[in-house]
């Protein structure tokens, strides 16, 4: 019987844009071919190791963990251009846990120390971390072969001896092999294999049969070549070829290596010797030291009880009973260290003025509220602890922390200081080839025009959060795409190829929130690397799933940065600074009349969770009166449950009766008038009506939350039967109740999460209602750089009667500033909001003004600002934005200053030189002279249109006016504007609308004709507009940026995106 073959040199899609197979596909293929073991050797990384390990175990295949390493010819620290780009390869397989730990060290150091084009190890590292590893010199790119190819046999001998010494083994049980592969289709390969076989015999080095795998099926070769073209961004068209790196089977292997039986025997021996066991699901908690010497449980108990008076609560029997119950569950589960770590992090945040909130079900815990971890009282809001943690729940709880986004990094730095730099890292996450991106990438790689890929991509509907769109699903959901696929050969070719690469890992980056903390150095558990964006953040190579409970068992935390918390913190500071009002934002009154009246009017721009057209309309209909209304809107305004909003509103206002499908449902639906709002409502229904316990309901929750079809089918049967046996319902009524759950699948918000986010939403509304200018200035500062958002917020300020003024050297600070204008609050643009204006020169201007008072004249300004960064670029920016208008001489304007720009700069330079001259000995003897004043040359008068263009260029929008102001009466006199169109127009409705062309993007069609996409804006909103080739050719003279036009066309809702297709255009008159 022939030796059983194992693929020992296998690449998955985690070899980023270099291989096709997903992990499951590799294992499925191995299982199909009766293979009992399989190795994963991705390119210098362990990205897929844990996923692979778990999937293999599930399918009863022995997992062999390895890497295909890059090795530097010189030191890994050497990075000399033209020399150190050369490297060779080495396959390393873990025999045991020691080998696996050494792989982690090698991969980590390759990325952190050896990265030069690729992550490289070197001889020094291999000598240090060789224990527990089997090394295989691959048939391609190995250093021994490169020596033999150049005729340097002596060097080849030195290299093979070094391998044998480094990976010390015995003649009977060696740890170093030379790989032999079969590729007669590749020029020179067979000759190279003969050289290696001869050399191996001469040096008594064992050979091993292998087949480098980059895709499953032979016909997938072109797909892999397409991936390589995407990786290299090559414009060369992908061609068919003959080389084969597919997943070959036992029969083919025996044919290929019939003359090398020892190579096959060695393959089986290696597979038999690799027996790695990785601990999965066992917790490794951070080492939290209690300085008092108390146990973790007693320390947490102490903190909780100290929190009762701090929260101004009474020690009622109900309160104490719940505290004891929760503490017992936490103690029995052994989670006290986890809670202490979270408490410590949030305690640091509170003491340092960092605003926080908590996401998820943890707000249902009373002990977390008392310890200061959460911000809402679960008794007051009727939040269940069991939704967060219960005795029957097998999985660990999650406490997801939100911090003000401008101080999130400060929190991560604190964690590093507290637990050790080597024990804290951010978690890696993988960007994958999504449907639209895959189509565009494949289009370019296959040499098709961009416009074709763009046309296909636009036919692919957007996916939902947690449920990304796939090409298969898109073809089912969009008949137009299906028609294109069926009728156009090129489209079919692109989509078929895109399907093969869709979903594959494209790159690794830092997770938006995930942070991991370990008890010992992280490299005892996970491989590390730098974030690929290049800002030296260290991240794990394992993602959230593989780092935590379902993987290597490290405690993971969410440190999410929330902009609205930064806005709130900024607004609170400004209120104290400008108004002398100290606001305790965590304890603002939740029954503020002004706040609810503002929400009922639909004034929601700039608020957390409550903005947007649809939400605003719902709030106006709802007319909220209590914070529970806010929580309901936060929970319901999402796909699925959204239909329940109307029912809630009707019942709240008494227009519909409050009813319950089962009497027991009144116990938990009374606050929501009998309407299902939260995921908790489903869980309580399962418990109260269908007889579930909390352990069973946890499975039910996961099935509903993740839309797991198989599990949902089981739960359906169980629930309906339970409603009949436990709840006394008829089967028909039970089915009716089950059907109410359908909209919540994948989208249900838990009540605690809604209460936490509802509170922040209310806080933002409270600040906007009571400190409007201060709050809006904080929003503007936070949104600096996002022109569309700034434009929307400024429009809201105008509606609120808050004047927004251009920057001014005498009043502006770095960000947006609140100032008094004629006794009313106005907002002034900040100096750092100006494009081409650095932070350094802005600071210099503000510092000088604070130290010596406002600038009295233009000359005074030029005399006092000594910063060398006051140059032509920055001075021009100040002039064009109007920042110097308050000190511009009478009779002059921005155009005058621009005309005299060189003169202004010369004056500033001379004043700076005078100061340096005054420091000399001779200056001490001279008589002071009166300060000189600059005289400006006359210039042609400025043009208001040009002034507006300057503002748009440097501030991102028009401030002192708008190009459409002269047409305002005509635009406002029309029945239709862009805002109304977007709200009410239907597919293919004829439209006539006026506006200004803001942006233009041109593309070439497949026939080589030019068409354009533009953004048209009026005084209410903006919309995308399309001019097809014939229309563009006819009207190209007026379809230009900043042109004020009227268009006649057809409204389009294609793929849910609102746009207008132009029929005719004319200039606005």
pLDDT at 946: 85
Per the model's pLDDT, the better-predicted residue between 160 and 1002 turns out to be: 160
Average pLDDT of the segment spanning 483-492: 93
104, 526 contact by CB (below 8 A): yes
Domain check: are 378 and 466 in the same one? no
- Res. 464: pLDDT tops 70: no
- At 921, the pLDDT band (50, 70, 90 cuts) reads very low
- Res. 682: pLDDT tops 70: yes
Domain check: are 200 and 51 in the same one? yes
- State pTM to two decimals: 0.85
The neighbour count for residue 670, using CB atoms within 10 Å, is 12
Q: Quick check: is 978 in a domain?
A: yes
Domain check: are 865 and 743 in the same one? no
- At 927, the pLDDT band (50, 70, 90 cuts) reads very low
- At 746, the pLDDT band (50, 70, 90 cuts) reads low
Average pLDDT of the segment spanning 492-520: 93
pLDDT at 707: 66
Give me the sign of the Cα torsion angle 9, 13, 14, 19: positive
Reduce the secondary structure of 142-206 to three states and give it as a string.
CHHHHHHHCCCHHHHHHHHHHHHHHCCCCCCCCCEEEEECCCCCCCCHHHHHHHHHHHHHHCCCC
| Token pair in block for residue 497 | 């190829």
246, 253 contact by CB (below 8 A): no
Question: What is the residue-averaged pLDDT of the chain?
Answer: 91
- At 912, the pLDDT band (50, 70, 90 cuts) reads confident
Q: Quick check: is 948 in a domain?
A: yes
pLDDT digits (tens, 9 = 90+) for 958-997: 888 888 888 888 887 777 888 888 888 888 899 999 999 9
Domain check: are 889 and 864 in the same one? yes
Q: What distance in Å separates the CA atoms of residue 212 and residue 7, rounded to the nearest whole number?
A: 8
Domain check: are 920 and 1010 in the same one? no
pLDDT at 941: 78
Range of the domain at 759: 581-766
DSSP 298-313: HHHHHHHHHHHHHTT-
870 in the Ramachandran plot: left (φ > 0), alpha (ψ -120 to 50) or beta?
A: beta
Sequence-distant (6+) residues with CB within 8 A of 54 are 280, 550, 551
Q: Quick check: is 568 in a domain?
A: no
Q: Quick check: is 537 in a domain?
A: no
- Res. 875: pLDDT tops 50: yes
CATH for 232: 3.20.20.140
List beta partners, residue 1052.
Answer: 1059
pLDDT digits (tens, 9 = 90+) for 619-638: 999 999 999 999 999 999 98
Nearest to 375 by CA among 389, 383, 363: 363
DSSP 277-346: ----S--B------TT---HHHHHHHHHHHHHHHTT----HHHHHHHHHHHHHHHHHT-HHHHHHHHHHH
* Rounded percentage of the chain residues whose pLDDT exceeds 90: 71
Domain check: are 497 and 596 in the same one? no
**Which residue, of 927, 955, 983, is where some domain finishes?**
955
Span of 390-399, 402-411, 455-464 with lowest mean pLDDT:
390-399
Average pLDDT of the segment spanning 331-350: 94
pLDDT at 929: 46
pLDDT digits (tens, 9 = 90+) for 700-741: 887 777 666 778 888 899 999 999 999 999 999 999 999 888
* Rounded percentage of the chain residues whose pLDDT exceeds 70: 96
Q: What's the structural domain count of the chain?
A: 6
pLDDT at 925: 42
Average pLDDT of the segment spanning 208-220: 95
Domain check: are 609 and 727 in the same one? yes
pLDDT digits (tens, 9 = 90+) for 601-619: 999 999 999 988 889 999 9
pLDDT at 58: 95
- Res. 467: pLDDT tops 50: yes
| Token pair in block for residue 648 | 């809630």
Q: Quick check: is 656 in a domain?
A: yes
| Token pair in block for residue 564 | 């609205």
Sequence-distant (6+) residues with CB within 8 A of 647 are 656, 675
Q: Quick check: is 535 in a domain?
A: no
E strand spans, 760-913: 803-805, 817-821, 824-828
Give me the sign of the Cα torsion angle 416, 419, 420, 423: negative
pLDDT at 926: 43
Q: Quick check: is 757 in a domain?
A: yes
**Which residue, of 921, 955, 989, is where some domain finishes?**
955
Per the model's pLDDT, the better-predicted residue between 319 and 704 turns out to be: 319
The neighbour count for residue 577, using CB atoms within 10 Å, is 11
Domain check: are 558 and 586 in the same one? no
Domain check: are 143 and 225 in the same one? yes
- At 53, the pLDDT band (50, 70, 90 cuts) reads very high
- At 582, the pLDDT band (50, 70, 90 cuts) reads very high
First CA to last CA distance, the chain: 90
- Res. 1033: pLDDT tops 80: yes
668, 364 contact by CB (below 8 A): no
Give SS3 for 566. helix
pLDDT at 920: 44
Q: Which is it for strands 1010-1017 and 1022-1027: parallel, antiparallel or unpaired?
A: antiparallel
Domain check: are 608 and 750 in the same one? yes
- Res. 24: pLDDT tops 60: yes
Q: What distance in Å separates the CA atoms of residue 224 and residue 442, rounded to the nearest whole number?
A: 11
- At 928, the pLDDT band (50, 70, 90 cuts) reads very low
Sequence-distant (6+) residues with CB within 8 A of 466 are 706, 746
- Res. 1053: pLDDT tops 60: yes
pLDDT at 702: 78
- At 240, the pLDDT band (50, 70, 90 cuts) reads low
Average pLDDT of the segment spanning 859-870: 91
- Res. 20: pLDDT tops 60: yes
pLDDT at 922: 39
**Residue where the block lists tokens 């739960």:** 715
pLDDT at 741: 83
pLDDT at 600: 95
Domain check: are 195 and 58 in the same one? yes
- Res. 1048: pLDDT tops 90: yes
Give SS3 for 467. strand
The neighbour count for residue 733, using CB atoms within 10 Å, is 16
- Res. 795: pLDDT tops 60: yes
- Res. 341: pLDDT tops 60: yes
Which element (helix H / strand E) includes 1023? strand 1022-1027
Q: Quick check: is 734 in a domain?
A: yes
Q: What distance in Å separates the CA atoms of residue 1036 and residue 1065, rounded to the nearest whole number?
A: 10
Q: What distance in Å separates the CA atoms of residue 1021 and residue 908, rounded to the nearest whole number?
A: 43
**Which residue, of 715, 731, 766, is where some domain finishes?**
766
CATH for 441: 1.10.10.1600
Average pLDDT of the segment spanning 51-59: 97
Q: What is the largest CA-CA distance in the chain?
A: 109
pLDDT digits (tens, 9 = 90+) for 300-312: 999 999 999 999 9
Domain check: are 65 and 180 in the same one? yes
- At 513, the pLDDT band (50, 70, 90 cuts) reads very high
């Amino acid at each position: 019987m022939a030796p059983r073959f194992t693929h020992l040199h296998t690449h998955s899609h985690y070899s980023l844009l270099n291989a096709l197979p997903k992990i499951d596909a590799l294992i499925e293929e191995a299982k199909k071919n009766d293979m009992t073991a399989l190795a994963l050797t991705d390119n210098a990384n362990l990205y897929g190791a844990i996923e692979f390990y778990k999937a293999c175990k599930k399918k009863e295949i022995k997992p062999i963990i390895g890497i295909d390493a890059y090795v530097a010819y010189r030191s890994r620290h050497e990075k000399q251009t033209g020399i150190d780009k050369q490297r060779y390869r080495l396959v390393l397989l873990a025999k045991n846990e020691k080998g696996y730990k050494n792989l982690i060290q090698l991969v980590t150091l390759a990325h952190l120390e050896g990265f030069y084009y690729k992550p490289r190890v070197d001889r020094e590292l291999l000598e240090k971390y060789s224990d527990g590893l089997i090394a295989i010199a691959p048939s391609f790119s190995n250093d021994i072969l490169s020596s033999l190819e150049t005729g340097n046999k002596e060097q080849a001998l030195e290299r093979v001896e070094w391998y044998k010494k480094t990976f010390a083994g015995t003649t009977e049980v060696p740890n170093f092999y030379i790989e032999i592969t079969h590729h007669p289709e590749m020029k020179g390969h067979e000759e190279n294999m003969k050289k290696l076989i001869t050399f191996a015999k001469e040096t008594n080095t064992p050979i091993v049969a292998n087949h480098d795998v980059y895709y499953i099926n032979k016909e997938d070769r072109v797909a892999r070549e397409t991936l390589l073209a995407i990786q290299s961004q090559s414009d060369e068209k992908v061609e068919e070829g003959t080389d084969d790196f597919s997943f070959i089977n036992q029969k083919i292997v025996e044919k290929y290596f019939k003359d090398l039986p020892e190579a096959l025997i060695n393959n089986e021996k290696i597979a038999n010797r690799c027996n790695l066991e990785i601990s999965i699901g066992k917790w490794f908690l951070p080492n939290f030291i209690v300085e008092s010497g108390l146990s973790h449980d007693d320390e947490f108990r102490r903190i909780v009880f100290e929190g009762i008076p701090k929260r101004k609560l009474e020690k009622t029997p109900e309160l104490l009973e719940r505290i004891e119950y929760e503490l017992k569950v936490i103690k029995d589960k052994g989670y006290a260290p986890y809670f202490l770590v979270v408490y410590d992090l949030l305690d640091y945040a509170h003491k340092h003025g960092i605003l926080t909130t908590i996401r998820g079900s943890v707000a249902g815990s009373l002990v977390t509220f008392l310890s200061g971890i959460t911000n809402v009282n679960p008794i007051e809001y009727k939040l269940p602890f069991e939704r967060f943690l219960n005795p029957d729940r097998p999985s660990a709880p999650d406490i997801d922390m939100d911090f003000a986004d401008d101080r999130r990094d400060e929190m991560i730095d604190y964690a590093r200081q507290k637990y050790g730099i080597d024990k804290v890292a951010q978690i890696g996450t993988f960007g994958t080839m999504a449907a639209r991106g895959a189509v565009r990438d494949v289009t370019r790689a296959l040499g098709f025009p961009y416009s074709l890929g763009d046309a296909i991509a636009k036919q692919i509907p957007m996916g939902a959060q947690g449920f990304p769109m796939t090409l298969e699903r898109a073809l089912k959901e969009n008949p137009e795409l299906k028609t294109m696929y069926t009728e156009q050969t090129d489209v079919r070719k692109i989509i078929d190829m895109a399907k093969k690469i869709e979903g594959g890992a494209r790159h690794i980056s830092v997770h938006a929130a995930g942070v991991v903390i370990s008890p010992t150095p992280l490299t005892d558990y996970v491989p590390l690397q730098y974030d690929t964006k290049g800002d030296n953040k260290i991240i794990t190579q394992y993602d959230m799933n593989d780092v935590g409970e379902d993987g290597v068992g490290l405690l993971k935390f969410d440190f999410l940065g929330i902009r609205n918390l930064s806005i709130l913190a900024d607004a609170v500071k400004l209120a104290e600074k400008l108004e002398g009002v100290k606001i305790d934002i965590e304890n603002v009154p939740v029954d503020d009349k002004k706040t609810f009246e503002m929400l009922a009017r639909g004034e929601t721009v700039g608020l957390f969770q409550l903005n947007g057209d649809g939400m605003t309309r719902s709030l106006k209909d709802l007319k909220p009166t209590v914070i529970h209304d806010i929580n309901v809107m936060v929970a319901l305004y999402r796909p699925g449950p959204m239909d329940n909003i109307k029912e809630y509103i009707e019942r709240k206002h008494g227009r519909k009766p409050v009813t319950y499908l089962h009497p027991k449902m009144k116990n938990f639906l009374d606050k929501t008038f009998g309407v299902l709002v939260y995921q908790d409502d489903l869980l309580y229904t399962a418990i109260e009506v269908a007889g579930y316990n909390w352990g069973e309901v946890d499975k039910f929750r996961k099935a509903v939350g993740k839309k797991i079809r198989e599990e949902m089918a089981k739960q359906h049967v169980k629930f309906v039967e339970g409603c009949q046996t436990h709840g006394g319902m008829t089967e028909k009524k039970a089915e009716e109740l089950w059907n109410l759950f359908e909209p919540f699948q994948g989208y249900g918000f838990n009540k605690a999460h809604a209460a936490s986010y509802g509170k922040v939403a209310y806080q933002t509304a409270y600040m906007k209602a009571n400190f409007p200018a201060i709050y809006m200035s904080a929003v503007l500062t936070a949104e600096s750089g996002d022109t569309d958002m700034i434009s929307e917020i400024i429009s809201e300020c105008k509606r609120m009667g808050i004047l927004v003024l251009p920057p001014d050297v005498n009043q502006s600070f770095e960000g947006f500033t609140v100032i008094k204008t004629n006794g009313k609050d106005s907002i002034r643009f900040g100096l750092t909001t100006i494009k081409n204006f650095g932070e350094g020169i802005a600071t210099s201007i503000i510092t000088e003004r604070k130290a010596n008072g406002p600038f009295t004249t233009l000359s005074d300004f030029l005399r006092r600002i000594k910063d060398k960064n006051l140059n032509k670029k920055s001075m021009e920016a100040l002039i064009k934005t109007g920042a110097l208008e308050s000190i511009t001489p009478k009779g002059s304007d921005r155009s005058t200053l621009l005309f005299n720009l060189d003169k202004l700069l010369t004056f500033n330079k001379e004043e700076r030189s005078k100061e340096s001259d005054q420091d000399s000995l001779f200056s001490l003897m001279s008589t002071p002279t009166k300060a000189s004043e600059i005289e400006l040359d006359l210039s042609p008068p400025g043009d208001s249109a040009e002034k507006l263009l300057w503002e748009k260029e440097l501030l991102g929008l028009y401030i002192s006016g708008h190009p459409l102001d002269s047409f305002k009466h005509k635009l406002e006199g029309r029945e239709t504007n862009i805002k109304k169109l977007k709200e009410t127009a239907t597919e293919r409705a004829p439209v006539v609308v006026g506006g200004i062309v803001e942006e233009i993007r041109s593309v070439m069609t497949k026939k080589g004709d030019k068409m354009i996409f533009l953004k048209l804006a009026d005084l209410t909103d903006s919309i995308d507009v399309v001019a097809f080739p014939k229309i563009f050719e006819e009207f190209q003279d007026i379809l230009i940026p900043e042109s004020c036009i009227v268009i006649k066309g057809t409204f389009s809702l294609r793929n849910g995106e609102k746009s207008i297709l132009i029929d005719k255009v004319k200039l606005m008159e």
